[in-house]
Amino acid sequence: MASTELTFQTTAEHRAWLKTQETLPRGFSVGTASFDFIPAEAPKPATMTLSLIKLDQPSPDFGAVFTRNAFPGAPVIIGRQRLDEESLGALVINNKISNVCAPGGVETAEKICASVAAATGLKAEQVLPSSTGVIGWQLPVTEIQAVIPTATAQLQSESILPAAEGIMTTDLYPKLRSVEIGDGRIVGIAKGAGMVEPNMATMLVFILTDIAMPRDVLRAQLKAAVDVSFNRISIDTDTSTSDTVAVVSSGLVQDVAPDNFAAGLRQICRDLAEDVVRNGEGVRHVLRVKVSSAPDAVFATALGRAVVNAPLFKCAVAGNDPNVGRLVQAIGRHLGNLDDPTDTSRMRLTLGGIEIFADGVFQLNPEKERALEAHLTQAELYQSAPTAEGAYHPPVDYPPHERCVEIGIDLGIGGAKSTVLGADLTHEYVTENADYRS
Amino acid sequence: MASTELTFQTTAEHRAWLKTQETLPRGFSVGTASFDFIPAEAPKPATMTLSLIKLDQPSPDFGAVFTRNAFPGAPVIIGRQRLDEESLGALVINNKISNVCAPGGVETAEKICASVAAATGLKAEQVLPSSTGVIGWQLPVTEIQAVIPTATAQLQSESILPAAEGIMTTDLYPKLRSVEIGDGRIVGIAKGAGMVEPNMATMLVFILTDIAMPRDVLRAQLKAAVDVSFNRISIDTDTSTSDTVAVVSSGLVQDVAPDNFAAGLRQICRDLAEDVVRNGEGVRHVLRVKVSSAPDAVFATALGRAVVNAPLFKCAVAGNDPNVGRLVQAIGRHLGNLDDPTDTSRMRLTLGGIEIFADGVFQLNPEKERALEAHLTQAELYQSAPTAEGAYHPPVDYPPHERCVEIGIDLGIGGAKSTVLGADLTHEYVTENADYRS
């Protein structure tokens, strides 16, 4: 179950790789339907896709973790209630509008669940809704209800890929990972490209498995897997109002050891988390910060997050500029704001494996500077260039490689460690986010 | 002592306004000297300016607050020691290199202090050093020592403007404010354009006064003034390793009431803090977040900071896009991460004075959306446009107005309030920071 090293040169290669991952576990089917509509709040034509994931039989073995944002979307409010239901029979997901703090949002989402239930022989309480997109706008409920029959008619039990594509917003490519364990499999899809931060992001993740796992075990394993994966990534500190990671088992494959399943689930979560960062809005470098010899894992994770969220360092990386002063500044800012002072005398920093700081001073020379710059350049996902109009857009629609900017922070004061993933701060990020709604 | 409303149309107007502020208090003189040199770490020609501020007589009445960063620059380490000295006789400031975590940094700074002392008839311990610029590089100590006689020869007691210009790095224009109180005055200058965050920024501020104020009173007043000014601004969360706000009195004007002096000092700090934000790297909109009806001021300030540091909202403002969903998302992220839940049921949000959120849902319509967009547009400092090569640079070298994007957050759960200033996130910010060193 080692991570797959992706080294795509073309979209066709990426497509071929997706084919190796797409097979649905037994007991599930997937259907989608797209339609055009006019949002009431900004009367310009838009396209929405509805994705439907259905279990052949409702299952008691499902779980989900949700955003900690104080203004959760209506689907999150409903989803928390669904956790108390006896079984789950379907998931219905729309992109484009997130149904957050919109008038009547909960009622709207419940109407959609009821329509899905009626079309699939379920009760509304057995349907988990999810939405992602613009905050504050109202869902076009009539239009959504009108395409539910189309999505139902499209249901097929071969591939999860239509849903992986259907839930995308500004994502450049579908994110889809699977593992096989004995006779069963786990398949996960993720949507998420911005507003990505610890404690769940504008990120929707749906993980399906046919491996039988009791509800309580499944939920505990999900929480543990999320903690070491999606809770250790950050594109821009912006936790969304809609983040959801849901898992559901059809229970058709017996006798897989819980530990084996947990390892597979963790792998899926880690791979998808890294995919989400690599596909972050405008991301040209993925940062991987490994904090070691820390007092505890919470301390290590917080320090890693501080580094991947430091705008000046992120900008320097975007420019392939090994401005290691800004790395030390970011670490020092975080440590200086803690209640208790941290002993930094044994701290050792590496960038691309090259020692850059030790004994309280920088360890630099022109040869090292060249090697650091080469490390940044080889980790670049694509080169930045504006269009004729001056706008910047990511030019690729597949992940060309899985290399990262590797940052090591060895504190020398404990035995704990943590790895946090993040991204640089680029013109492409600003372009995508300065005028997203229009 | 009301804030001056700046509405400059040209650099000449700005220059004329600076002339109204530049007069030195009695008992001070200022001299500067610039020189070219080759940094050892990146062998390309660079220009450094040395600024010297000298008291006619060493004074016991001085104070300073410094960065909380865990890796303070050598001048900060020395500055903390200087606070225990009996008197201060001069300040020496260089730009271009910050002397942080560089081998032998403290010894280098002390050598420079000793040379200044020798040239001005002081002891080295009576000289406060300050440096700003690239982190990690070594100061060109020989070259600096060589120009100290030039700076000394330039000393004049008319204008602080040469120092306001001499301490600039990526600043677009000198930042200089003054107030008169009775027969005395307070004059402050600031350097700071990026890496600006609560608890002091890459920001150097030097405040001179001829009003007599005992050391202990002066230091307490400085701390209080900094807390409601420089500690309530943030460009990019990045607290620098060099932040310093220093104040010194020549003591020549007696009998100003401490409360009057404190009010003037607070005004200077607030005006300079706003100037620093308005001149932030790539800033095109200044955000002013007024949090009211909060449980306490610390709570209110933290919430305001969370808003001005939310990248997605900052990008939306840059694009004059009133994406109020991202404002709610940023507030919700902050409140959701607090240990105790916050009652948000009475929260009311305004943008440009227009109600956008109340009773838990958005209060929007197309007419309001147009008014919100107009508010963002009128607060824009300049329009963004790439050069032919695709790079973005701020096109003005003076602050064209003092308007802000006005954000109101009324929590309805207490009696405390706070105002926090911040900035949008623009292409110009990325351009300035993606390749600053080269």
What would the DSSP string read from start to end of B215-275? Answer: HHHHHHHHHHHHHTTGGGEESSS---SS-EEEEEEEEEE----HHHHHHHHHHHHHHHHHH
The more confidently predicted of residues A156 and B402 is A156
Domain end, chosen from B278, B297, B326, is at B278
DSSP string, A98-135: ---S-TTHHHHHHHHHHHHHHHHT--GGGEEEEE-SBS
Contacts with B326 from chain A: Cβ below 8 Å: 135, 238
Regarding whether B239 and B313 lie in a shared domain, the answer is: no
Flag whether B5 is in a domain: no
Smallest CA–CA distance, residue B228 to chain A, in Å, is: 18
10-residue mean pLDDT profile of chain A (438 residues): values are 60 92 98 95 89 98 92 94 98 93 94 98 98 88 98 98 93 93 97 52 87 98 94 68 91 96 97 90 92 96 93 91 89 90 95 96 90 96 79 79 95 96 89 65
Supply the pLDDT for residue A164. 97
Tokens of A296: 């505890």
CB of B298 less than 8 A from some CB of A: no
Regarding whether B185 and B48 lie in a shared domain, the answer is: yes
Supply the pLDDT for residue B335. 94
- Mean pLDDT throughout B248-258? 97
The more confidently predicted of residues A396 and B262 is B262
Tokens of A146: 């009108």
> If contacts are CB pairs under 8 Å, which of residues 407-436 in chain A contact chain B?
425-427, 429-431, 433-436
CB of B100 less than 8 A from some CB of A: yes
CB B265 within 8 Å of CB B207: yes
Q: How confident is the model at residue B201 (pLDDT cuts 50, 70, 90)?
A: very low
Q: Do B136 and A364 touch (CB under 8 A)?
A: yes
| B334-355 burial code (b ≥16 CB/10 A, e <16) | bbbeeeeebebeebbbbbbebe
The more confidently predicted of residues A168 and B234 is A168
CB of A370 less than 8 A from some CB of B: no
Q: Do A436 and B316 touch (CB under 8 A)?
A: yes
CB B401 within 8 Å of CB A405: no
Supply the pLDDT for residue A160. 98
CA–CA gap between residue A140 and residue A97 (Å, rounded)? 9
Contacts with B236 from chain A: Cβ below 8 Å: 311-312
The more confidently predicted of residues B78 and B5 is B78
Residue B39 has pLDDT above 70, yes or no: yes
Q: Do A429 and B100 touch (CB under 8 A)?
A: no
Domain end, chosen from A278, A311, A337, is at A278
Smallest CA–CA distance, residue A268 to chain B, in Å, is: 26
Flag whether B2 is in a domain: no
DSSP H helices, A200-321, are: 215-227, 258-278, 297-308, 311-318
Regarding whether A291 and A274 lie in a shared domain, the answer is: no
CB of A330 less than 8 A from some CB of B: yes
Structurally, chain B folds into a number of domains equal to 2
Regarding whether A419 and A311 lie in a shared domain, the answer is: yes
Regarding whether A293 and A413 lie in a shared domain, the answer is: yes
Flag whether B181 is in a domain: yes
Supply the pLDDT for residue A108. 97
Domain end, chosen from B233, B260, B278, is at B278
B68, B71, B72, B74: CA torsion to nearest 10: 170
Regarding whether A190 and A298 lie in a shared domain, the answer is: no
Nearest partner of B202 among B11, B438, B407, B432, judged by Cα: B432
Flag whether A6 is in a domain: no
Regarding whether A215 and A314 lie in a shared domain, the answer is: no
Regarding whether A418 and A391 lie in a shared domain, the answer is: yes
Regarding whether A190 and A318 lie in a shared domain, the answer is: no
Q: Which residue has the tokens 């965050």?
A: B197
Q: Which residue has the tokens 């790539």?
A: B282
Strand A416-423 versus strand B184-191 pairing type: unpaired
Flag whether A5 is in a domain: no
Regarding whether B407 and B319 lie in a shared domain, the answer is: yes
- Name A129's bridge partners: A92
ipTM: 0.84
Flag whether A1 is in a domain: no
Strand B88-94 versus strand B127-131 pairing type: parallel
Taking only the tens place, the pLDDT of each residue in B60-87 is 999 999 988 888 899 999 999 999 999 9
Flag whether B144 is in a domain: yes
DSSP string, A305-347: HHHHT-HHHHHHHHTT---HHHHHHHHHHHHHTSSS----TT-
State which residue of chain A sits closest to B328, comparing Cα positions.
Answer: A71
State which residue of chain B sits closest to A103, comparing Cα positions.
Answer: B361
Residue B134 has pLDDT above 60, yes or no: yes
CA–CA gap between residue B398 and residue B165 (Å, rounded)? 13
| A388-426 burial code (b ≥16 CB/10 A, e <16) | eebbbebeeebbbbbbbbbbbbbbebeebbbbbbbbbbb
CB of B132 less than 8 A from some CB of A: no
Q: Which of B66, B312, B359 to mutate to test the interface with A (most CBs of A within 10 A)?
A: B312
Smallest CA–CA distance, residue B94 to chain A, in Å, is: 18
Flag whether A3 is in a domain: no
Supply the pLDDT for residue A235. 63
Smallest CA–CA distance, residue A234 to chain B, in Å, is: 12
Regarding whether B388 and B294 lie in a shared domain, the answer is: yes
| Nearest CB to B342 within list A70, A312, A366 | A70
- Residue A366: how many CB atoms within 10 A of its CB? 11
CATH number of the domain within which B309 lies? 3.10.20.340
Output A10-13 pairs: Cβ under 8 A, ≥24 positions apart: A10/A398, A11/A397, A11/A398, A13/A398
CA–CA gap between residue A89 and residue A59 (Å, rounded)? 6
Q: What sign results for the dihedral spanned by CA atoms B208, B214, B215, B219?
A: negative
Tokens of B426: 């623009």
CATH number of the domain within which B54 lies? 3.60.70.12
Q: How confident is the model at residue B240 (pLDDT cuts 50, 70, 90)?
A: low
CA–CA gap between residue A89 and residue A78 (Å, rounded)? 15
> If contacts are CB pairs under 8 Å, which of residues 344-363 in chain B contact chain A?
344, 357, 360-362
CB of B336 less than 8 A from some CB of A: yes
Q: Do A100 and B361 touch (CB under 8 A)?
A: no
Contacts with B309 from chain A: Cβ below 8 Å: 237
- Mean pLDDT throughout B426-433? 84
Regarding whether A128 and A83 lie in a shared domain, the answer is: yes
For A382, the domain range is: 286-434
Catalytic residue chosen out of the listed positions A32, A49, A132, A202: A202
Q: Do B329 and A430 touch (CB under 8 A)?
A: no
A/B interface, count of CB pairs below 8 Å = 249
State which residue of chain B sits closest to A428, comparing Cα positions.
Answer: B427
